[in-house]
Structure 1
Amino acid sequence: MSKLEEFLTEKGILLADGATGTTLFGMGLQSGDAPELWNVDEPDKIRAMHEGFLDAGADIILTNTFGGNRHRLKLSKDEHRVRELNRAGVDLAREAADACGRDVLVAGSIGPTGELFQPLGALTYEEAVEAFAEQMDALIEAGADILWVETMSASEEMKAASEAAKGRDVPLVITASFDTAGRTMMGLPPKGLNDLRSEFACTPVAIGSNCGVGASDLLAAILEITAADPEAIVVAKGNCGIPQIKGKDLIYSGTPELMADYARLAIDAGARIVGGCCGTSAAHLSAMRGALDSHAREDRPSLDDVVSRIGPLISPLNKAAEAGGGARKNRRRG
């Protein structure tokens, strides 16, 4: 049994951390800069970010390595630094975790390559596997407890990541972003993530959703994933409310109180690992910690319940499901 599975057995529900990007932008990261460079150039700020999430009660912290593969790093001409930047990211997270006085899991964050697969683009499946394997090896060498593949859109890319993880003896987590009319950018619906597991070379310990267009839509995706497989260990890592453009800034509408209620609904929807994505600060995460600690799982929510408590759905397909009786079907499943 992996450390992740041991934690789940012991605690039942785990709290993952908040938003890396939002937090680093608040610390001075400029749009277009590679956050991974801060693992070497601004280590105190990365350490402070992790410490903030740990102080808020996170059980899992994700490394600052989301774009740490060779294809993403070539945008800043740092593709030759994959091992250095990923190892530094794990070292900083591990240092913060070891100093917090309790057991915490360090998850090596692995994002998309940023490339399109053939025939739509130039990237071959084999090249994707090689890039993910290179990053995973660096994360494992530095002591990551989990390989956390996140914000995925393409089935081929998730398969490539799972193949890269095969035989590496570290638990795999895969989450997708359902941000385009209730599907991923490449057309995968939430329930399709369950079907893909049988095609993965390395079976993930957990699957789920992160990011997307809003907390309500993410909960709609979680309801679909858990309906397709009620026994799956599911991750819900939603954005902090709904993004709103104010001048040059992108502001997220979620308050700590809203994110606490989102955490309760995620548990009721069947999620076992709950966290926050874009816009989720340490203050939001602290409210979520309090909600998880005090909440006893209740009946499975309907889409109506989600909308009334968290806010309107953004995705047209989710809205159509709500209007067409999807809420009533969810209630019957509960």
Structure 2
Amino acid sequence: MNRQAEFKARLRSDVLVGDGAIATLFYQQGYTAGSSTELLCLSNPEWVRQVHQAYLEAGARVIETNSYAANREALSRYGLESKTSEINRAAVKIAREALEQSEKDAFVIGSIGSITAGRVLSKPLDQYRDVFEEQAAALLDEGVDGIMLETFYDVEELLLALDVIRPLTQVSGTPILTQLALLEVGRTRDGYDLSNAFLQLQKAGADVVGLNCRLGPIEILRSLEKTVVPDGLSLSAYPNAGRPALVDGEYAFKSNAQYFGETAVKLLQQGVGLIGGCCGTTPEHIRAIAKAVAGRQRVNRQNPTPEVHVTVLEKEPNLTPPNEPTVVDLVKQRHTVIVEYDTPRDLDIEKFIQGSIALRKAGADAITMADNSLATARMSNMALGAIIKRELGIEPLVHVACRDRNLIGQQSHLMGLHALGMNQILVITGDPARVGDLPGASSVFDVSSFELIRMVKQLNEGIAFSGRRMKNKAQFVVGAAFNPHVRHLDKAVERLERKVEAGADFIMTQPVYDVETLVAIHDATRHIPVPIFIGIMPLTGPRNAEFLHNEVPGIKIAQSTLDRIKRFDGARARAEGVQISKELVAEAVKYFKGIYLITPFHFYEMTVELTQYVHQLTQVSRNVVGE
């Protein structure tokens, strides 16, 4: 049996451990050259070989060549298109040498990445056929054991690559592994649900289907749980090390190796037979996977039953718009509640309206709406803010991100908010566009959050961003964000002081999950002269808790809370999440007059109950000011 046939057989029967990230590992190790990391196969082959060896020593038994973006289209950006074949052949040779030196029983597969990478096409997709063929031919000629087509955002591009490469593998029988990168759980960028995508890939001749990149372990797990995998297909998963965050000007990943190993077992239970890591993962992550799955047998895939859809209730009649003071006015008199409720990701606003009405009736003093949080496109918070203000009498507090608009767009946007009478805003930096559902989009960042706060206050003086005098003055009340989940709280407070100096009128914090952190924030910020709204977001279940704790930058959850929520699931878990939050609210109102409740996954019933609870606890103080 040749190597390709053996690898294909093992993919069908064994649990195999793949390797982890290559490019991001190079950057973590100090690579700074403004060129293709694939060029290292020629300029520094020993470095590439050491990375392969590190993964083999960690337990990987399937290693990928350093050839992900070694295609003519990508290499042409650096003037390297003439070296396409040479780089791919060198990538295979280096991986083979690493394997021989390690004396491990492992396989070498040729990595081929998406050409479009989720960007808007500049030419017809079919024109990339020769690009895929050139790269695949070089890898196959050098004798790889398999081909890995990975990080494809669009099924159509992946089907094209399969159509080009499948004929090249017929003689050798080389297996082709295919991995999609999802921008949201369960659906590709070009609109395929994952079940249909896998079915199309099977028909096109894929030996393995799976997911990699973009999502961390929990979100990949959630995607696979909802997916029907066709019989006869092997399944793979190469998650990112959680979500990336911008730390000191560089992208960093949060997920730790132990957590990665624990979730690998859960992926194995979904029938995944090949488990590795993508962006942000290291040999430590792979070592944890290898240790966690050691001795385990392949699990037969159990496909899910169809989901049950819930009918949306009819909208209640409009409420009479009240003449509300700002949250800063209110919090000076009594405990005040801001509730965050995300706008929808589609064109149906029915549930959003229902939730807004329920929150208003529960006593929310303002509903705050993110500005495309996590860089994911949502309905305009300006539009929905105007609707709930004029039609429902609910005070909106909209987020304004630095990410999406240049200075022209920012001033225009703020002028529009002013015209609509929406004067309460929260200025934030915004998550980088590359982490969202349109990774080809540009992150603008013409200004920082500090600068934008100053410029909004400049509008309040009747001066445009350009310095031009305007006929009227705006009346914006400007909030700023505060992340207390950092190694050095004093440094975060210094940053907060700068925001207040820039003109911030109030502060809203990231969600807090324990009393110790709550008290630490109070003690560290007691000198801050503006109101602080402490963030509290109820947990919806154990997986939500694990995801927030391990994969989302800026959030940490006490082990005791994680252990507590793990005892429940479904509605009982959400009820426990509300109870945990109530206990935290009971302490929070002792230290803060501003409470900022964050609605998880549109479960507005949870924040309705918490809003009512805040007012129950603080009814005495509300009566004192004549409410």
Cα distance change on mapping 1:271 and 1:321 into 2, 3 Å: farther
Does residue 178 of structure 2 align to residue 177 of structure 1? Answer: no
Contact map agreement 1:150 1:175 (CA 8 A) in 2:
yes
Corresponding residue for 1:307? Answer: 544
Contact map agreement 1:146 1:173 (CA 8 A) in 2:
yes
Corresponding residue for 1:245? Answer: 246
Taking the TM superposition and a 5 Å limit, the aligned residue runs for 1:219-258 are: 219-225=221-227, 227-229=228-230, 231-258=232-259
Cα distance change on mapping 1:207 and 1:29 into 2, 3 Å: same
Alpha-carbon distance between aligned partners in 2 of 1:128 and 1:140, rounded to the nearest angstrom = 18
Which one of the candidate residues 29, 32, 46 is aligned to 2:31?
29
Cα distance change on mapping 1:297 and 1:134 into 2, 3 Å: closer
Corresponding residue for 2:162? Answer: 162
Corresponding residue for 1:326? Answer: none
Q: Give 1:38's aligned amino acid.
A: L
Which one of the candidate residues 196, 201, 214 is aligned to 1:197?
201
Alpha-carbon distance between aligned partners in 1 of 2:256 and 2:298, rounded to the nearest angstrom = 22
Contact map agreement 2:186 2:226 (CA 8 A) in 1:
no
How much does 1:7 deviate?
2.2
**Larger RCO: 1 or 2 (CA < 8 Å, sep 6+):** 1
Taking the TM superposition and a 5 Å limit, the aligned residue runs for 1:205-216 are: 205-216=207-218
Alpha-carbon distance between aligned partners in 2 of 1:213 and 1:166, rounded to the nearest angstrom = 28
Contact map agreement 2:202 2:230 (CA 8 A) in 1:
no
Contact map agreement 2:273 2:298 (CA 8 A) in 1:
no
Which one of the candidate residues 3, 6, 10 is aligned to 1:3?
6
Larger mean Cα displacement after TM superposition, 134-143 or 152-161: 152-161
How much does 1:181 deviate?
6.0
SS of the equivalent of 1:173 reads strand
Contact map agreement 2:253 2:280 (CA 8 A) in 1:
yes
Contact map agreement 1:193 1:207 (CA 8 A) in 2:
no
Corresponding residue for 2:76? Answer: 74
Cα distance change on mapping 1:196 and 1:45 into 2, 3 Å: same
Corresponding residue for 2:151? Answer: 151
Cα distance change on mapping 1:108 and 1:218 into 2, 3 Å: same
Contact map agreement 2:112 2:150 (CA 8 A) in 1:
yes
How much does 1:28 deviate?
2.5
Cα distance change on mapping 1:223 and 1:124 into 2, 3 Å: same
Larger mean Cα displacement after TM superposition, 292-301 or 168-177: 292-301
SS of the equivalent of 1:167 reads helix
**How many residues were matched structurally?**
314
Cα distance change on mapping 1:300 and 1:246 into 2, 3 Å: farther
Alpha-carbon distance between aligned partners in 2 of 1:198 and 1:25, rounded to the nearest angstrom = 35
Alpha-carbon distance between aligned partners in 2 of 1:214 and 1:188, rounded to the nearest angstrom = 20
1:62-97 Cα offsets, whole Å, 9 max, x none, are: 111010111111111111111000001111011101
Larger mean Cα displacement after TM superposition, 269-278 or 213-222: 213-222
Cα distance change on mapping 1:172 and 1:300 into 2, 3 Å: closer
Q: Give 1:73's aligned amino acid.
A: L
Alpha-carbon distance between aligned partners in 1 of 2:74 and 2:29, rounded to the nearest angstrom = 22
Corresponding residue for 2:192? Answer: 188
Contact map agreement 2:237 2:272 (CA 8 A) in 1:
yes
SS of the equivalent of 1:83 reads helix
Alpha-carbon distance between aligned partners in 2 of 1:150 and 1:31, rounded to the nearest angstrom = 24
- CA RMSD, Structure 1 to Structure 2 (Å): 3.0
Percentage of pairs with the same residue: 25
Q: Give 2:79's aligned amino acid.
A: K
Alpha-carbon distance between aligned partners in 1 of 2:259 and 2:59, rounded to the nearest angstrom = 18
Cα distance change on mapping 1:321 and 1:194 into 2, 3 Å: farther
Alpha-carbon distance between aligned partners in 2 of 1:131 and 1:261, rounded to the nearest angstrom = 39
Contact map agreement 2:264 2:292 (CA 8 A) in 1:
yes
Larger mean Cα displacement after TM superposition, 232-241 or 125-134: 125-134
Unpaired runs of at least 5, structure 1: 324-334
How much does 1:185 deviate?
3.0
SS of the equivalent of 1:175 reads strand
How much does 1:245 deviate?
2.3
How much does 1:5 deviate?
2.0
Contact map agreement 1:259 1:288 (CA 8 A) in 2:
yes
Larger mean Cα displacement after TM superposition, 140-149 or 123-132: 123-132
Contact map agreement 1:71 1:115 (CA 8 A) in 2:
no
How much does 1:250 deviate?
1.8
Alpha-carbon distance between aligned partners in 2 of 1:31 and 1:322, rounded to the nearest angstrom = 46
Contact map agreement 2:155 2:188 (CA 8 A) in 1:
no
How much does 1:36 deviate?
0.9
1:245-275 Cα offsets, whole Å, 9 max, x none, are: 2221222111111011111011012211101
Corresponding residue for 2:116? Answer: 114
Alpha-carbon distance between aligned partners in 1 of 2:146 and 2:602, rounded to the nearest angstrom = 35
How much does 1:16 deviate?
0.6
Contact map agreement 1:16 1:276 (CA 8 A) in 2:
yes
Contact map agreement 2:117 2:152 (CA 8 A) in 1:
no
Contact map agreement 1:147 1:171 (CA 8 A) in 2:
yes
SS of the equivalent of 1:103 reads coil
Alpha-carbon distance between aligned partners in 1 of 2:101 and 2:286, rounded to the nearest angstrom = 19
How much does 1:306 deviate?
3.9
Alpha-carbon distance between aligned partners in 2 of 1:228 and 1:62, rounded to the nearest angstrom = 24
1:156-200 Cα offsets, whole Å, 9 max, x none, are: 211111011122222111101012465333333322322322552
SS of the equivalent of 1:123 reads coil
Q: Give 2:9's aligned amino acid.
A: E
Alpha-carbon distance between aligned partners in 2 of 1:229 and 1:223, rounded to the nearest angstrom = 14
